[in-house]
Amino acid sequence: MSPRIRDIATVILCLFLCGCFSSVPEDTPSPADGTFMVGGHTYRFVQGTLVQDDRDNDSIAVVGVACDLHGNGTTATALAARFKDAGVDIVLVCGDICDHYRDPGPDDAEMERVLAPFLATSMLVLTIPGNHEQIPVYDAVMTRMATANPNLVNMLTVPVAKLDDISIVALGGYHDQRFIPASGRLLGDEDYTVAVRRTTGLPLPRLFLTHGPPRSAREGGVDQVTGGSHVGDPRLNEVFEQGGFNVHVFGHIHEAGGRAETPEGDPVPPDTPVARLLLNAAPGSPWTLLDGSHTPGQAMIVRMGNSTTSYRIISAS
């Protein structure tokens, strides 16, 4: 290939990537400011932030985390029922709601199939896209379903939540364009900077919600894939520290699902209170884990207090 042809090809590739990977959802505005009720609680959208007006006296947030359901409505139905029985206050759905690559079905139908059981419980449901979602499709589904379900909040357009007993900052998308479809959301440098900036003035405890994991240095860590490689995003570690977060929940690496550690790399078993926690809640779909065991689909229930957090694993079976 001649140098001139190579240069032209490089320009074309750059233009293609810029057009196909979305860093900022430019065409989707935040919901209009206003008040709504879910499960007897009052919420408001205020300049891109979800605010809960009423408070209780327990100083405990019970959070259900479901990741990587990949269009599996049966698993979603089972997990939603377990969340409800456990008294979950908030459900976080942290990406890969659909299965863009392997399932031939329409992505929008898969997303609706997964989200419907959670919404039917009248719990507050907060979502972000992962590396399977095409943003125009994701935003269209969120807008359509939120019209009939006020308990659905798209944290791509409302990335901050100030709720009773917990503050949440979300960063939807993924950092490696090799695993993102056309019109998927590729994280850029500004996204990490903005995520830290959004923590200014937020009450503690703070939860950081992403699809992909941070980088772990521990053998058998939260970002380790089959074969031993660590594939987490080190910039997420920086956001966690700079933003003063207590907990980081994520998914994406199915085989490391159910693993938790401190930011210092110490493993954290279930039902063990710690001050700071990194938690891989995946996979919501059937998978073989790093230890060779098989899960029919799982999720996490996270209990956050003023000074400690603990978790437990729930199964779809």
Query: For the residues 138-156, what does the mean pLDDT come to?
Result: 96
Q: Is 30 helix (H, G, I), strand (E, B) or coil?
A: coil
DSSP state of 177: G
Q: Predicted confidence band at 32 (pLDDT cuts at 50, 70, 90)?
A: low
- Which of 204, 190, 197 lies closest to 245, judged by CA? 204
Bridge partner residues of 126 (DSSP)? 92, 153
Q: Predicted confidence band at 33 (pLDDT cuts at 50, 70, 90)?
A: low
DSSP state of 186: B
Number of domains in the chain: 1
What are 165's two structure tokens? 């007993």
Query: For the residues 11-25, what does the mean pLDDT come to?
Result: 42
Query: For the residues 204-225, what does the mean pLDDT come to?
Result: 96
Residue 306, pLDDT score: 86
Query: d(Cα 160, Cα 169) in Å, to the nearest integer?
Result: 5
Residue 31, pLDDT score: 64
DSSP state of 32: P
Query: For the residues 83-106, what does the mean pLDDT come to?
Result: 92
Least confident of 17-21, 27-31, 158-162, 311-315: 17-21
- Which of 214, 188, 194 lies closest to 276, judged by CA? 214
- Quick check: 214 and 260 in contact, CB under 8 A? no
Query: d(Cα 215, Cα 219) in Å, to the nearest integer?
Result: 12
Is residue 40 pLDDT above 50, yes or no? yes
Is residue 142 pLDDT above 60, yes or no? yes
- Quick check: 172 and 185 in contact, CB under 8 A? yes
Domain at 201, CATH number = 3.60.21.10
Query: For the residues 199-204, what does the mean pLDDT come to?
Result: 96
CB atoms within 10 A of CB 271: 10
DSSP state of 101: T
- Quick check: 71 and 255 in contact, CB under 8 A? no
CA torsion 254-258-264-269 (nearest 10°) is -160
Query: d(Cα 41, Cα 287) in Å, to the nearest integer?
Result: 36
For the chain, give the mean pLDDT. 90
Residue 3, pLDDT score: 41
Is residue 303 pLDDT above 70, yes or no? yes
Burial per residue of 85-120, b for 16 or more beta-carbon CB atoms within 10 angstroms, e otherwise: eeebbbbbbbbbbbbbeeeeeebbebbbbbbebbbe
What are 279's two structure tokens? 């938690």
Q: Predicted confidence band at 29 (pLDDT cuts at 50, 70, 90)?
A: low
Q: Predicted confidence band at 23 (pLDDT cuts at 50, 70, 90)?
A: very low
Is residue 47 pLDDT above 90, yes or no? no
What are 314's two structure tokens? 């729930």
**How do beta strands 124-128 and 160-163 pair?**
unpaired
Residue 229, pLDDT score: 93
Domain of residue 123 covers: 3-315
